[in-house]
Each structure stands twice: as structure tokens, then as C-alpha cells.
């Protein structure tokens, strides 16, 4: 038990003092898919003090190939990812305080969750969330580490408020691959490589060694054996709406953020009610039992299968409609069965 962190303490840039630092820090991870699982496990093993994990989804069979925290049992039980992750993470290191949030990382959610946090890890699969995250980071002065991967490709960059350009500055100048919703598939080594880049930067930030940060945008393609680093400091713009001298934080004020979204690489649409309200899943189960179709429920979500569609209802009112990419068809199913 006492020797738990001995190898990490022997690593001189961390040492006993650094280890002490790590144990007092709080990190927020947005998304608990492949990147989120890898980062969460690395941080928990490294002895982070507190970890908050946020995800809107539940475990499916297609996740098991690369999302290292999850098991077949989690997929069979359709456990929300953060619930399955928390139990695995706590089994790995019981001294870490892990907070699991089942939610869509919307503006309201993110701003609240990022308060008082030392570092944010981007493990989302969509650009809308990253833009919100970027503004929250600038507004609260919390560093964040961007990461994305698709196929055998991956990319990462560390954003330090007041020091480096932000994601908006970069977007206007650098083609950031791997950002679009893609059905090209993915292999786990690309995930692990992005996680390695994100986590080495995370450790530097957590021990306060800012001089050692990479300061470059890194990208790679493991199948094509390509690596590249781009120096991007000069891309910081004083006119940037997110990190410049006169900021408006445009992505925090978008009241018209999409309430429906086609999920990345999946035959699914998410519908988010404009006001999140707690749904009584037990009552809903009774109501749906009068319809044709199959209802299943666990403490976190209700799943309703009817013909080739499946509707998954979360307690916060969100609904995933599987079996279509068509938003109006998804809405029609939503209104027919869920009011």
C-alpha cells in the first residue's frame, strides 16, 4: 500500500513532491468512450485526488473492442458508461473520489462541473461540445487537453488559458482532422496513442511543470507511419472571441444549441428536451406496457423496442432513438410513444 506510487515517485520530474500535488488535484473528463476510459484509468492509477466523469451514453457491444473499462456484463445490462466506469475505477484505486454524472455535456452542465477543477480532459466525440468546453476553459481559467481519433489517425493539443492559442484560434488556421463524424471505424492503438499524449501532458500540468509541456499540435497516423508536430503559438489571436482581448464566449451564449443531434457514426438520434426534467421510469414502463413492443428497465434508463427502432429514455428526460438517422422520424417516434 505504501509502495503504491513508488515507481512514479522515482521518476524525478514527479518525485514525492509531485506525487503529493497529484493527490490534491481534481480532473474533469468529458466523455467516457474510448479516450475517456483510457484517461480515467491512467489518472486513477496515478493517484489523482478527485475525478469527475461525464457521459450521456450506456455501454454497448461495439464499445468493448476499445473502451477498456467495460465488460460484457456492462453491455448486457446496458449500464450507463459512467456507472460502469466508476465501479471499475474504484476497484482499481479506492482512495480516489470518483463522481459519475449521467448527462449530456451541455452549456449549463459544463460550466457548473468545471468550477474549481484543475484540469479538463476532452474525450468527446463531437465538435459542438469541444467548442463549449473551450469557452468554459477560457472563462474559468482552467487548462484543457484536446484529443481526437478516427481510424488509425489521432491528434492532440494542450490549451492553457492566457498562454496558448485556444481551439477557435487553431480552427481558423489549421486543418484539424478527425473532427468530423466518421464511420471509418477505429483501431485501439490510435486511442491509446492519443491517451498517452493527453496523459503525459496532464501529469505535467498536475505537478505544475508547465515548462515541459509540448506546446505543439501533434498528429499521427499509425497505419501510414506518419507523425507530425505543428508549432502553433503564433496563431493566438487578440481578436479571438473566446480567448482574445474582447471576449464574448460565443459558444456559451448559444441558447439555440441543438436539441436534437444525429450521433456520430451511429444509426441514432438524440432528443434532448429544452428543459431537463426528471422522468419517472417506473410509470413510463407501465404506460408502455400497454403498447406493442418490448420494455426493459434498469435503475438508470428504460429501453423500448418497437419494430426496427429502439428508444432509450434516461432519467433526465433525454431520449436516444436507435434505428434511424432521420431527425423528423426520430421526433415522430418520440411523440408517439413518449408524449
**Contacting positions for Zn ion (CB under 5 A):** 166, 168-169, 240, 242-243
d(CA 11, CA 66): 29
Helix (H, G, I), strand (E, B) or coil at 137: helix
The CB-of-230 to Zn ion minimum distance in angstroms stands at 16
Query: Could you give phi then psi for residue 134, rounded to 5 degrees?
Result: -60, -45
Residues whose CB is less than 8 angstroms from the CB of residue 266 and which lie 6 or more positions away in sequence, other chains included: 322
Q: Is 48 exposed, middle or buried (0-12, 13-18, 19+ CB in 10 A)?
A: buried
Q: Which one, 15 or 161, has the nearer CB to Zn ion?
A: 161
Distance of closest approach, residue 209 Cβ to Zn ion, in angstroms? 24
Catalytic residue among 166, 169, 181, 264: 181
Our CB check for Zn ion shows the closer of 58 and 249 to be 249
Minimum CB distance to Zn ion smaller for 166 or for 261: 166
Closest distance of CB 265 from Zn ion, Å: 28
User: Closer CB to Zn ion, residue 162 or residue 255?
Assistant: 162
Nearest-angstrom CA–CA distance, 1 and 21? 18
**∠41-43-49 over CA atoms, to 5°?**
125
By C-beta, is 238 or 256 nearer to Zn ion? 238
Q: How many Å apart are CA 317 and CA 275, to the nearest integer?
A: 9
CA 84 – CA 80 distance, rounded (Å): 6
Give the nearest distance from C-beta 85 to Zn ion in angstroms: 31
Q: How many CA atoms lie within 13 A of 136 on its CB side?
A: 29
Whose CB is nearest to Zn ion?
240
Q: How far is the CB of 162 from Zn ion (least distance, A)?
A: 11
- C-beta separation of 38 from 190 below 8 A: no
**Cβ-contact 201, 212 below 8 angstroms:** no
- Note if 181 is an active site residue: yes
| Catalytically annotated residues | 181
Amino acid at each position: 500500500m505504501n509502495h503504491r506510487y513508488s515507481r512514479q515517485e522515482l521518476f524525478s520530474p514527479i518525485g514525492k513532491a509531485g506525487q503529493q500535488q497529484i493527490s490534491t488535484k481534481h480532473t474533469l473528463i468529458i466523455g467516457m468512450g474510448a479516450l475517456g476510459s483510457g484517461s480515467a484509468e491512467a489518472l486513477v492509477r496515478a493517484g489523482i485526488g478527485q475525478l469527475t466523469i461525464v457521459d450521456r451514453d450506456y455501454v454497448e457491444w461495439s464499445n468493448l473492442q476499445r473502451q477498456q473499462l467495460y465488460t460484457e456484463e456492462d453491455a448486457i445490462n446496458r449500464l450507463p458508461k459512467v456507472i460502469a466506469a466508476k465501479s471499475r475505477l474504484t476497484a482499481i484505486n479506492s482512495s480516489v473520489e470518483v463522481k459519475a454524472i449521467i448527462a449530456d455535456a451541455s452549456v449549463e452542465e459544463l460550466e457548473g462541473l468545471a468550477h474549481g477543477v484543475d484540469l479538463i480532459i476532452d474525450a468527446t466525440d463531437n465538435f459542438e461540445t469541444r467548442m463549449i468546453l473551450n469557452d468554459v476553459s477560457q472563462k474559468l481559467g482552467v487548462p484543457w487537453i484536446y484529443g481526437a481519433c478516427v481510424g488509425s489517425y489521432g491528434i492532440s493539443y494542450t490549451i492553457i488559458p492566457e498562454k496558448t492559442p485556444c481551439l477557435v484560434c487553431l480552427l481558423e488556421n489549421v486543418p484539424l482532422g478527425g473532427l468530423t463524424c466518421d464511420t471509418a471505424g477505429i483501431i485501439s492503438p490510435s486511442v491509446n496513442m492519443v491517451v498517452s499524449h493527453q496523459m503525459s501532458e496532464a501529469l505535467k500540468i498536475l505537478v505544475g511543470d508547465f515548462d515541459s509541456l509540448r506546446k505543439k499540435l501533434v498528429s499521427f497516423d499509425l497505419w501510414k507511419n506518419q507523425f507530425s508536430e505543428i508549432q502553433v503559438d503564433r496563431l493566438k489571436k487578440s481578436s479571438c472571441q473566446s480567448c482574445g482581448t474582447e471576449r464574448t464566449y460565443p459558444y456559451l451564449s448559444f441558447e439555440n444549441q441543438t436539441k436534437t443531434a444525429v450521433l456520430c457514426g451511429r444509426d441514432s438520434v438524440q432528443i434532448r428536451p429544452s428543459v431537463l426534467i426528471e422522468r419517472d421510469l417506473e410509470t413510463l414502463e407501465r404506460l408502455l406496457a400497454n403498447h406493442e413492443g418490448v420494455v426493459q428497465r434498469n435503475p438508470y434508463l428504460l429501453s423500448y423496442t418497437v419494430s426496427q427502432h429502439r428508444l432509450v429514455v434516461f432519467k433526465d428526460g433525454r431520449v436516444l432513438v436507435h434505428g434511424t438517422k432521420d431527425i423528423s422520424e426520430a421526433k415522430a417516434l418520440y411523440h408517439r410513444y413518449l408524449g
